[in-house]
Amino acid sequence: MRFLLRVLPLLVLAAACTKIAFSPRLDFVGATRFISASRIITTGTVTADSLASKIYAQTTNLDDGPNLKHLRITLASSPTRTPVLYPTTISTYLASSTPDDPPLVYLDSLLAPGTKDIAFTNLLTGRTASGVDSWKYAVTDETGSIASRAYRLSLRRTDSLTAVVHSYRAYFGSVPVGQPGTPLTAAQNQALAYVNLRQGLLLPHFAVAYTNPESVASRAANRALVDLVCTTQGPTLRLVSTKSGSLVTTGWGVNTHSTALRATTLAATDFIGLTTNALLASTFATGTVAGGDSLQTAPLVKGAVIAFHTTATGPGGAKYGALLIADLVRTPATVITCQVLVQK
């Protein structure tokens, strides 16, 4: 007993001098602007709105803790983000026929050496087809310890079973067409300028351009989703197929899409009436190629209706559709409001 009494104080002292390793910390910043918790939306009118979430991560000890090394954001969708054309007799539908999409690596970034903490605001868009998107944020430190947080965005479209044409409203920015190698500003790098027309998925520049050696496959997969990119050159804004030779998609290779674009004479009131597959196909057939180049639009103006035909290599195959430039704001940042109709 006396031996134990002599040893216990030594054990307590040893424990007090031992550093306990903890994982880094990562938390969502709570504010009315930022998503910090899961949510469910039930609606018949869908907007691929520009949403935002902000995370703050720090090492276990700002004075002498291990540096933060890596930030990764992934998107898992269940089921596919591509809209489903359900059978007339819904009882014959098999859920297994619409599997989940492969996880999308939205950001895969090595942090600057010596990083002890980081705040990052992520711009994103919600789903336009019924289902669930799970967003996961993870930070890794130099010891390999990981901290992560996640939330789920669920959408229930009331017209999922009956609509034959997929519709949504989207907001997106632009990236400049300048000299090769000219770095983008932070705002341009985060601009939701890369568009998948079937899904209403908008990607920022960094999601298709990150250069980490381990991210080559993810970058290629993201590029293969993109139908159009919105570019700016001086005051001129255009929607451009990724196979157009634009400087912002130079080097994409087999990941480019030759999305065909045609100008129309339709007004906004005509656009609303494009509610069938046949009407969308005929609108494209009667459209005209702007400036002799079917891979880009004329300079964008408010009220323009543009017909398109997606490439057969994109998600869901080739589809006809049309988009309306509902609004166009140039300052303080470029924001294009676009209403989209596309065959399911």
Per-residue confidence (pLDDT) for residue 96, from 0 to 100: 80
Instruction: Answer whether 38's CB lies under 8 Å from 134's CB.
Output: no
> 3-class DSSP state for residue 191?
coil
More confident residue, 43 or 286: 286
Average pLDDT over residues 306-322: 87
Per-residue confidence (pLDDT) for residue 271, from 0 to 100: 97
More confident residue, 226 or 97: 226
pTM value is 0.89
Per-residue confidence (pLDDT) for residue 88, from 0 to 100: 84
Residue 246: pLDDT band with limits 50, 70, 90: confident
**End-to-end CA, the chain:** 80
Per-residue confidence (pLDDT) for residue 181, from 0 to 100: 67
Q: What are the pLDDT digits (tens) for 252-281?
A: 988 899 999 999 999 999 999 999 999 999
Question: Which among 50, 59, 54, 78 has a CA at the least distance from the CA of 149?
Answer: 54
Q: Which DSSP letter does residue 14 get?
A: H
> 3-class DSSP state for residue 340?
strand
Average pLDDT for the chain:
88
Per-residue confidence (pLDDT) for residue 33, from 0 to 100: 84
> 3-class DSSP state for residue 57?
strand
Q: What are the pLDDT digits (tens) for 124-181?
A: 999 999 999 999 999 999 999 999 999 999 999 999 888 999 999 999 999 998 766 6
Per-residue confidence (pLDDT) for residue 48, from 0 to 100: 73
Q: Above 90 in pLDDT, residue 213?
A: no
Per-residue confidence (pLDDT) for residue 62, from 0 to 100: 87
Which amino acid, 58?
Q
Average pLDDT over residues 278-304: 96
Q: What are the pLDDT digits (tens) for 7-53?
A: 445 444 444 444 555 679 999 998 888 998 999 988 877 777 788 99
More confident residue, 321 or 291: 321
Average pLDDT over residues 301-322: 89
* CA–CA dist 282, 159 (Å, integer): 24
Per-residue confidence (pLDDT) for residue 10, from 0 to 100: 44
Residue 316: pLDDT band with limits 50, 70, 90: low
Numbers of helices and strands, H then E, in the chain: 6, 19
Per-residue confidence (pLDDT) for residue 9, from 0 to 100: 52
pLDDT over 70 percentage in the chain: 92
Q: Above 60 in pLDDT, residue 122?
A: yes
Q: Which residues are within 8 A (CB) of 304 and not within 5 positions of it... i.e. 6 or more apart?
A: 263, 297, 298, 324, 325
* CA–CA dist 67, 299 (Å, integer): 47
